[in-house]
């Protein structure tokens, strides 16, 4: 009798664990990609192999859903920038995060994007609008911009990256592929 009860408890625990995993995986995949995982295909969580330069209108259209998110979802300027950059990358568009050093702080995260029709543009991901930050200039609430810095992120073919490591071009102790390779 005890063996049957123990066996039932073990089966229930296994089923509960599997259910939690499946629900958690599905929810996480859906949050990350905007679609549910399917066995027969579906949206890839990897960006396309070829990155392009979209028009400013296409960039704004891709970023628009991000601008509709609110702080109630726990977003701050960095979260908006990462989410917008991620959506642009999945659309095959090059995008990078730029940090505006503001006086007085705190700093602020926006996007810098090369477009096919307007050149390099800055986008405020919280509003989806194009902005024009310049060091010494003013930003939104009359704070002074002390500096503008770009965080370079782009996909690099693994063979190219491995060759760069082998040739000593990349310092693997640094976080960025473009980090300075000088060992101070």
How many domains is the chain built from?
2
Same structural domain, 110 and 60: yes
Which range among 48-57, 81-90, 103-112 shows the weakest confidence by mean pLDDT?
48-57
φ and ψ of 53, to 5 deg: -115, 110
Reading the block at residue 14, the tokens are 């296994």
Q: Is 154 helix (H, G, I), strand (E, B) or coil?
A: coil
Same structural domain, 90 and 40: no
Does position 72 have pLDDT exceeding 70, yes or no? no
pLDDT of residue 24: 66
Query: 10: domain range?
Result: 1-45
pLDDT of residue 165: 72
Whether the Cβ atoms of residue 52 and residue 81 lie closer than 8 Å to each other? no
Cis peptide before 121 (omega within 30 of 0): no
Does position 73 have pLDDT exceeding 70, yes or no? no
pLDDT of residue 155: 63
Residue 156 lies in a domain: no
Task: Provide the pLDDT confidence category of residue 139 given band limits of 50, 70 and 90.
Answer: confident
């Amino acid at each position: 009798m005890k063996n049957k009860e123990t066996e039932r408890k073990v089966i229930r625990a296994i089923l509960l664990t599997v259910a939690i995993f499946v629900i958690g995986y599905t929810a996480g995949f859906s949050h990350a990609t905007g679609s549910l995982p399917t066995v027969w295909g579906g949206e890839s969580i990897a960006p396309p192999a070829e990155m392009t330069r979209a028009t400013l209108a296409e960039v704004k259209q891709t970023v628009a859903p991000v601008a509709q998110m609110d702080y109630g979802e726990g977003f701050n300027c960095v979260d908006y920038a990462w989410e917008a950059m991620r959506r642009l990358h999945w659309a095959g568009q090059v995008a990078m995060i730029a940090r505006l050093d503001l006086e007085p702080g705190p700093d602020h995260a926006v996007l810098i994007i090369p477009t096919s029709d307007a050149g390099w543009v800055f986008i405020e991901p919280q509003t989806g609008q194009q902005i024009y930050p310049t060091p010494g200039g003013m930003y939104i609430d009359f704070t002074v911009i002390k500096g503008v810095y770009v965080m370079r992120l782009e996909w690099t073919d693994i063979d190219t990256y491995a060759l760069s490591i082998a040739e000593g071009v990349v310092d693997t102790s640094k976080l960025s592929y473009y980090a300075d390779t000088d060992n101070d």
